[in-house]
Amino acid sequence: MAAAVEDSSNVSEAYPMTGGDGPNSYAKNSIRQKLVVDAAKELLTKTIKQNLDLDICLPCDTFHIADLGCSVGPNTFLSVENILEAVKFEYQSRGLSSQIPEFQAFFNDHTLNDFNMLFKSLPRNRNYYAAGVPGSFYGRLFPKASIHFFHSSLAVHWLSRVPKDVTEKTSRAWNKGRIHYSNSGDEVVRAYQAQYSEDMECFLHARALETVHRGLVVLTLLGHHNGDSHSLGNVTVDILGSCLMDMARKGVVSEEKVDSFNIPSYCVSPQELEVIVERNGCFSIEALETLVYHVPEHGAKRSASTMRAATEGLIKQQFGEEILDELFSLYQQKIEEQISIFESKKSVIFFVVLKRKTN
């Protein structure tokens, strides 16, 4: 029997990046994310050189790439282009130029992602066939053993949902006065950890079925170093939370709404990730290293725009559209006041390479 496709819409919340190409859009405000794509390019090329078996796309002779959490561009196109070029280069350098396959790239994100914008901005002279795939990457998206190379850049820190306990007043994990586990109590951290672990199990279970044997899954992930306290946290999210609390004190938003609002993202440690991958059992970890990237100082205004493009969907849902301008203007102001702390606390990003075992 053909497997019934799981309906991921029931189990996963959607918080797409801001669509379109307006001044607040993700397309216009994802320059930081592009720096990560650029920084990962060299590692990606090395990974393909060291870990890719070129015969995996036989017998069908098309190389299938999927970018998970692609959003609306342009970074997703750069990633796909980097992968494609590195794969082609390997064929050439191994004397197999005549066997270079055709490429098909699948761009995946939540159903509510702005695919119209994505498709309109597809590069004109691309060397691959393009398709959009709607749905949560915590469920099945592709047929069995059909993808040779999965890629995801700065997307798998988004949880499938806010951990239930942190929103419940009666729970010991109730996250009052905060919007994240960062700098919060242990119970809150544990609730986030449990959700991440559960989500990554679903993620790896689905990818294990979809990846061809000896195929690769390459992820760049927001993380934290082994042993680092969660109180180090994410300074940007902390600042956003404090802005919302300020607005609650002024009566612009209700305190209750802030208490029940939580950003569904988690920064994993290498140790945690290793445990999850080993428990899944279908992948070997070929690399797990810290990504070295350079973020030029580009000031509070651009930082506020980047944050807005990534979170305004979530915030709108909880507080309504009308608070957005005030919130992000306050956010920008706070970043300006703390610019030196802000710029010294660079996010930790891991570059992870998983290879599908042959079982």
Q: Nearest CA to 14 among 307, 264, 288?
A: 264
Tokens encoding 164: 């239930």
Tell whether residue 142 is a contact of a copy of itself (CB under 8 A).
yes
Q: Would you say 109 or 259 has its CB closer to a copy of itself?
A: 109
303 sits near a copy of itself (criterion: CB under 8 A): no
Number of residues binding to a copy of itself, judged by CB under 8 A: 46
DSSP 126: -
Cβ at position 138, least distance to a copy of itself in Å: 15
Mind giving me the DSSP string for 279-310? HH-SEEEEEEEEPP------HHHHHHHHHHHH
293 binds a copy of itself (CB under 8 A): no
Give the one residue of 49, 53, 96, 112 binding a copy of itself; rule: CB under 8 A.
112
Q: Which of 93, 129, 320, 357 binds a copy of itself (CB under 8 A)?
A: 129
Q: Which of 120, 225, 301, 346 binds a copy of itself (CB under 8 A)?
A: 120
Among positions 323-342, residues that touch a copy of itself (CB under 8 A) are none
Cβ-based nearer residue to a copy of itself, 209 or 295: 209
Site for a copy of itself in 48-87 (CB under 8 A): 59-62
Contact call for residue 143 and a copy of itself (CB under 8 A): yes
From the list 31, 43, 54, 130, which residue makes contact with a copy of itself (rule: CB under 8 A)? Answer: 130
Q: Which two tokens stand for residue 284?
A: 């070997």
Q: Report, in Å, the least distance between residue 240 CB and a copy of itself.
A: 28
* Contact between 150 and 140 (Cβ < 8 Å): no
134 part of the interface to a copy of itself, by CB under 8 A:
yes
116 binds a copy of itself (CB under 8 A): yes
5 interacts with a copy of itself by CB under 8 A: yes
Strands (E), the chain: 62-68, 102-109, 129-134, 147-153, 211-223, 283-290, 348-356
The residues, any chain, with a CB within 8 Å of residue 267's CB and separated by 6 or more, are: 157, 221, 222, 223, 224, 234, 347, 348
- Helix or strand (DSSP H, E) at 208: helix 186-210
- Please report, for residues 75, 84, 149, 236, the alpha-carbon distance to residue 88 in angstroms, rounded to integers and kept in the order given: 20, 6, 13, 39
Residue pair 355/51 in contact by the 8 Å Cβ criterion: yes
Tokens 């891991």 belong to residue: 350
Binding site for a copy of itself (CB under 8 A): 1-5, 7, 9, 59-62, 88, 97, 100-104, 106, 111-112, 114-116, 119-120, 122, 124-135, 140-146
